[in-house]
A and B are shown apart, each in its own frame.
Chain A
Amino acid sequence: MGGIDRRRFLKRAGIAGALGGAAAVPMAGELVLAQGHKHKEAVREHGRHLAQSVTRGDHGHGMMGTVGRVDHDSNGFHPLEILTDFDGGRTSRDSSGRTVREYEFVAINKEIEVAPGIFFPAWTYNGRVPGPTIRATEGDRIRIHFTNTTDHRHTIHFHGIHPAGMDGVPGQGEVGSGETFVYDFIAEPFGTHLYHCHSMPLVQHIHRGLYGAFIVDPKKGRPPANEMVIVMNGFDTNFDGENEVYAANTIAFGYLNDPIVIERDELQRMHVINVTEFDPINSIHLHANFFNLYRTGTSLQPDEFTDVISMAQAERHMIEFTYRHEGRFMFHAHQTEFNDLGWMSLFEVVA
């Protein structure tokens, strides 16, 4: 009698217990399944609409590229302006008749938007990256009043020929917070050059944005051309030793969104400067065209006729080319990973 009761009880209790445990699970599973289903639905839903705060970045190049647009007004500089704003400084003549060009440089910390929605804490000359493009003729005197408003010590180190005291390295031209130093030297040799901060640690002082172009024209000048400056740079936004963003003049896909308009059959002269940190090499490649390569711009004769040139850091060249056909032509690094990460640009050749 007790045995039959026990058997029935055990059977029921056993099943109840096991099924109780198993039942809770499908219920939870139901919830998870429903959630998974809901997510799939939501995903399909959003796939049909454009999200409110983000627009589809369609450049006619498939689905690659960043989404959205950079707010250049907030940045305080526009890639199309940086391209051509050669700064001759405040000119005057000294007693020997030499042209003197004076500049005000201020080291400022600024958060800049390097890709839509991605902000980078930059160290800048005059609130822009790259810094002002200094343009002079060989033999001019350059005088730069450099004030540092930041907490780190900074310098301006020029790639050119100058005395040791003007070299812009720690101990020779380095300024701390609130201090000023006046750089004073003769612009030589002619060519496409650059300047950058040389405080230590050097990687950070360059990577954070303290660099710019320094163009010195030969005394007799060059044939007229449409001139541009492209500074190839990169940004390690998460500070892990690798760049997450690559660019021509700071903004990822900047000239893809705002193509550079140039005229057909017009001579183009582009000063290309590499200041990319963390990667040993960068390059520039023009589509559908070849260029005359003037290595470092220090020669009046071209060194090579090619469509791609590799550059290590601080290498820079002057390239000249003419487009004979109208339309849109890409130019970009041929390290294709840089391409996919922002160093991809467009010419729009018009009649």
Chain B
Amino acid sequence: MRYRQELILFLAIIASMSFQSCISPAPHTKPHHKVRIKQMKFVPDSITVNIGDSITFINKDVVSHDVTEEKSKKWTSKTLKRGETWSMIASEDVNYFCSLHVIMKGKIRIK
């Protein structure tokens, strides 16, 4: 009898937890954007995101590149070899470029 009561209590707790997880909103995850670097271009070369969104640059090209803030070079990724990635958090409108191949340019715009 006692074990039966304990089992019922245990099952009730489990059921309650399951119910809670169904109705509670999932923890908020920031959207994640990807920019591929290929054929000497940033693809897409312009993205519009929210403040705090994460942006990952992936080098899929045959040569190394970097991602550098264009106006005053206040931030830069390290040199990214083929296959390497670099992530940043969007905080403001910014133009960037590849300092190794100065004609390669891109933009981040905040919604």
Whether chain B is bound by chain A comes out as no
Residues of B within 8 A of A (CB): none
Residues of A within 8 A of B (CB): none
